[in-house]
Amino acid sequence: MTEILQQNPTSPDGPADPYDLNTTDESFHFISELLQEYGDVVRLKSKTRKNDSFLINDPELIKHILLKNYQNYNKGVGFERVKMLLGNGIIVSDGAFWRKQRRMIQPAFSKAMIESQVEMIQQCNLQRMQQWQSLLVDKSEAEIDISYEASDLALDIVLRVLFSDDVDTILEESGENPFAFLTEDPTRDVQVVLKYRALMSLLLKFIQNRRTTTKKYNDFVSVFVDAHDKETGEAMSDKELLDEVMTMIVAGHETSAITLTWVWYFMAKFPQVDKIVQDEIIQTGLSGAPGFNDLDKISYIKQVTEEALRIYPPVWLFTRKAINDDVVGQYTIPAGADIFISPYYLHRNQHFWNQPEEYQPERFANEEQKSQHKFSYIPFSAGPRRCIGDFFATVEMQIHVGLMAQHFRFELLTDTPPELEAGINMRAKEPIILKICKR
């Protein structure tokens, strides 16, 4: 059947009026209308761009684009803003340069390297636990801005994974936290470019110091500095290394922070989920911050984070651009076409998810996952360009929830669902304030 369809490819339906999809609230709502009216594959005429766009919400077709024929697709529209802020790191780079950079930074994300970072992740969380406990010294409950707390913690973790104790030197020499704006100012537009550039200058100084120091470090930057391309034998230039560091800081911390915010929101909203987490902690005998070997024992906590990523994937829309003509399923994709894929709507596709609007961590139990199309769940993208930090993020979030859930529970202050803001990353439009209580 597939062969017959590919011999007679067609063009999908779409609206008559031209429209340019973007990471905006307007596009977010319009995509919902498009999928309801035209189905899982939609063609849009371009309003200002050179080529037409294709919105694809079918996992098998997404598998073709991201895996089977991924070499025919480069990063698409929308990455210009990211490149302006972060440089040419692996999120935005393409072709031979991307492959070279990916090979060079991959050792930092090996299982062994991440395991070696667990103690540092534990320490960051233990310090945060003490701060939360201080809110409850003379009372059993208090209000907490979980959006800020999750962001500040995730930023601390990613900085120390990258620079280890050099972070303290950076803070001492700066007199204030030069990274604070990443947590305090959620905007990611032209107005923050100068702040990014100042931050780059600071980080470049420490990168250059790493090249000459005899001190041994166990962190990601040390891996980046020592890396050499296997084909040319060349190391990364300062600019290349800096771009990767900035990418890790901004993209790495934001996705974890947003997800942890939603994890605590859902655990506050659904006490039965919190109860199962508690039962798991008791049954496994977990005490203190989970270690690397504890993570397999707290599988339900992992499911809690996975379901949060399904409901609210931080990267809610991403793009590819076709290099050559292609046939995807029964559809012709012309060279130059812009492909739009939305994990947010894919994760709500009723053809592949039962009760997709409901928060159900159990759907990520091993038995349930076996029957699920692997490309129906792509919070970290998929294929060769899958996010390099996905395993690290999973470990980081399990350790956090596994520790904090032993000491705190959260309650909602309002039944009104948070309003979403669909920018480069999807987040709650306003900070999420929860009631934090002692166990």
344 is written with which tokens?
């947010």
Q: How far apart are CA 47 and CA 149, in angstroms?
A: 41
Residue 190: φ, ψ to 5°: -60, -30
Tens-place pLDDT, residues 377-411: 999 999 999 999 999 999 999 999 999 999 999 99
pLDDT of 4 higher than 50: no
Contact 87, 81 (CB under 8 A): no
Structure confidence at residue 67 as a pLDDT band (50, 70, 90)? very high
pTM for the model: 0.94
Contact 402, 290 (CB under 8 A): yes
pLDDT: is 171 or 347 the higher one? Answer: 347
Tens-place pLDDT, residues 312-343: 999 999 999 999 999 999 999 999 999 999 99
pLDDT value at residue 200: 84
Q: Note the helical H segments in 213-252.
A: 220-226, 238-247
What is the arithmetic mean of pLDDT over 341-360?
97
In 3D space, the residue among 175, 344, 183, 317 whose CA is nearest the CA of residue 250 turns out to be: 183
* Count of domains observed in the chain: 1
Tens-place pLDDT, residues 404-419: 999 999 999 999 999 9
Q: What is the mean pLDDT of the chain?
A: 93
Query: Beta strands of 183-337 (E only): which ranges?
Result: 318-322, 326-328, 331-333
**CATH number of the domain encompassing residue 35:** 1.10.630.10
Q: How far apart are CA 98 and CA 388, in angstroms?
A: 12
Tens-place pLDDT, residues 291-320: 999 999 999 999 999 999 999 999 999 999
Query: What is the separation, in whole angstroms, between the first and last Cα of the chain?
Result: 58
Residue 72: C-alpha distances to residues 161, 333, 339 (Å): 34, 11, 12
Structure confidence at residue 85 as a pLDDT band (50, 70, 90)? confident
Q: How many CA atoms lie within 13 A of 372 on its CB side?
A: 21
Which value, in Å, is the radius of gyration of the alpha carbons in the chain? 22
Strand pairing report for 53-56 and 338-341: parallel
Q: How far apart are CA 439 and CA 406, in angstroms?
A: 7
Tens-place pLDDT, residues 98-126: 999 999 999 999 999 999 999 999 999 99
Sign of the alpha-carbon torsion through 210, 211, 215, 221: positive
pLDDT value at residue 2: 39
pLDDT of 81 higher than 80: no
Contact 409, 437 (CB under 8 A): yes
74 is written with which tokens?
């480069």
Q: By residue range, what is the domain housing residue 195?
A: 2-438
What is the arithmetic mean of pLDDT over 370-383?
93
- In DSSP terms, 420 is beta-bridged to 428
What is the arithmetic mean of pLDDT over 11-40?
96
145 is written with which tokens?
């801005």
pLDDT value at residue 7: 54
pLDDT value at residue 94: 92
